[in-house]
Structure 1
Amino acid sequence: MAHVTKTPAFDRRVWLLALAFFAIGTDFNVVSGILPSLARSLDVSVPAAGQVVSTYALFYAVCAPVLAGLTAHIPRKPLIVISLTAFALANAASALSPNYAFLIGTRIVAAFAASVFSPAAYGLAATLARADRRGAALSAALSGITISLVVGVPIGAYIGNRFGWPATFWFVTALTLIGAAGLAMRLPHVDTPATAQAPGLAARFAPLANREVLLGMAPSLVWYVAMFALFTYLGAAMTERGMTKEELSVIYGAFGVGCLFGNHIGGKLSDWFGSQRIVAIALVLQIANLVWLGLAGSSLIANACSVAIYGMNMWFLFPAQQSRLLSIAPQHGPLVLALNNSTMYLGGAIGSAASALLIRHGIATAQLPWVSCALFFAGLVLFALCSWALRRDALRGRQPAGGGKSPNQSVRN
Structure 2
Amino acid sequence: MAQTLKTSALDRRVWLVAIAFFAIGTDFNVVSGILPALARSLDVSVPAAGQVVTSYAFFYAICAPLLAGLTTSMRRKPLIAGSLTAFALANAASALAPTFAFLIGTRIVAAFAASMFAPAAYGFAASLATPERKGAALSAALSGITASLVVGVPIGSYIGNRFGWQGSFWFVTALALVGAIGLGFRLEHHEEQTAAPAMGAPAASFLARFAPLAKRPVLLGMVPSLVWYVAMFSLYTYLGATFTERGMTKEGLSAMFAAFGIGSLIGNHVGGSLGDRFGSQRVIATALVIQIANLAWLGTTGASLVANALAVAIFGMNVWFMFPAQQSRLLALAPKHGPLVLALNNSTMYLGGAIGSAVSALLIRHGVATANLPWVSCVLYIAALVVFALCSRALRCDARVSTRTESM
Q: What range is the shorter-chain TM-score in?
A: over 0.9
Alignment match of 2:339 (pick from 320, 323, 334): 334
**Do structure 1's residue 253 and structure 2's residue 267 form an aligned pair?**
no
Change (3 A) 1:75 1:6: farther
**Do structure 1's residue 351 and structure 2's residue 356 form an aligned pair?**
yes
Decide which moves more: 184-193 or 49-58. Answer: 184-193
The structural deviation recorded for 1:397 is 1.2
**2:395 and 2:193 mapped to 1: Cα distance?**
36
Does the CA contact (< 8 Å) of 2:76 and 2:189 recur in 1? no
**Do structure 1's residue 53 and structure 2's residue 58 form an aligned pair?**
no
Q: Deviations over 1:375-413 (max 9, x none)?
A: 0000000000100010111111169xxxxxx9xxxxxxx
1:247 counterpart SS class: helix
The structural deviation recorded for 1:188 is 1.8
What residue identity is the alignment partner of 1:361? H
Change (3 A) 1:276 1:16: same
**1:33 and 1:6 mapped to 2: Cα distance?**
41
**1:217 and 1:398 mapped to 2: Cα distance?**
23
Counterpart of 1:369 in structure 2 is: 374
Does the CA contact (< 8 Å) of 2:75 and 2:189 recur in 1? no
Matches within 5 A, 1:149-188: 149-188=149-188
Change (3 A) 1:217 1:9: farther
Change (3 A) 1:77 1:392: same
Counterpart of 2:68 in structure 1 is: 68
Change (3 A) 1:398 1:215: farther
**1:6 and 1:76 mapped to 2: Cα distance?**
26
1:355 counterpart SS class: helix
**Do structure 1's residue 230 and structure 2's residue 247 form an aligned pair?**
no
Does the CA contact (< 8 Å) of 1:72 and 1:193 recur in 2? no
**1:76 and 1:237 mapped to 2: Cα distance?**
42
Change (3 A) 1:247 1:129: same
**Do structure 1's residue 83 and structure 2's residue 88 form an aligned pair?**
no
Change (3 A) 1:85 1:323: same
Counterpart of 1:403 in structure 2 is: none
Counterpart of 2:283 in structure 1 is: 278
Counterpart of 1:239 in structure 2 is: 244
User: For structure 2, which runs of at least 5 residues remain unmatched after alignment?
Assistant: none
Does the CA contact (< 8 Å) of 2:18 and 2:141 recur in 1? yes
Change (3 A) 1:306 1:7: farther
Give the aligned length: 396
Q: Deviations over 1:123-146 (max 9, x none)?
A: 111101111111111111111000
With structure 1 as the length reference, what TM-score do the two structures score? 0.93
User: For structure 1, which runs of at least 5 residues remain unmatched after alignment?
Assistant: 400-405, 407-413
Does the CA contact (< 8 Å) of 2:97 and 2:103 recur in 1? yes
What residue identity is the alignment partner of 1:225? V
Alignment match of 1:379 (pick from 376, 380, 384): 384
2:155 counterpart SS class: helix
What residue identity is the alignment partner of 1:183? L
Counterpart of 2:119 in structure 1 is: 119
Counting aligned pairs with the same residue, the percent is 74
Counterpart of 2:328 in structure 1 is: 323
Q: Deviations over 1:307-352 (max 9, x none)?
A: 0000000000111100100011101100000000000000000000
Does the CA contact (< 8 Å) of 1:76 and 1:193 recur in 2? no
Counterpart of 1:410 in structure 2 is: none
Decide which moves more: 382-391 or 10-19. Answer: 10-19
Change (3 A) 1:244 1:123: same
**1:194 and 1:291 mapped to 2: Cα distance?**
55
With structure 2 as the length reference, what TM-score do the two structures score? 0.95
1:397 counterpart SS class: helix
Q: Deviations over 1:67-114 (max 9, x none)?
A: 110111001111000000000000000000001000000000000000
1:200 counterpart SS class: helix
What residue identity is the alignment partner of 1:340? N
Change (3 A) 1:138 1:47: same
**1:161 and 1:193 mapped to 2: Cα distance?**
48
Q: Deviations over 1:222-266 (max 9, x none)?
A: 000000000000000000011000111111111110001111111
What residue identity is the alignment partner of 1:348? G
What residue identity is the alignment partner of 2:311? S
**1:131 and 1:224 mapped to 2: Cα distance?**
33
Change (3 A) 1:9 1:391: farther
**1:153 and 1:18 mapped to 2: Cα distance?**
15
The structural deviation recorded for 1:272 is 1.1
Counterpart of 1:314 in structure 2 is: 319
What residue identity is the alignment partner of 2:353? G
**2:277 and 2:341 mapped to 1: Cα distance?**
23
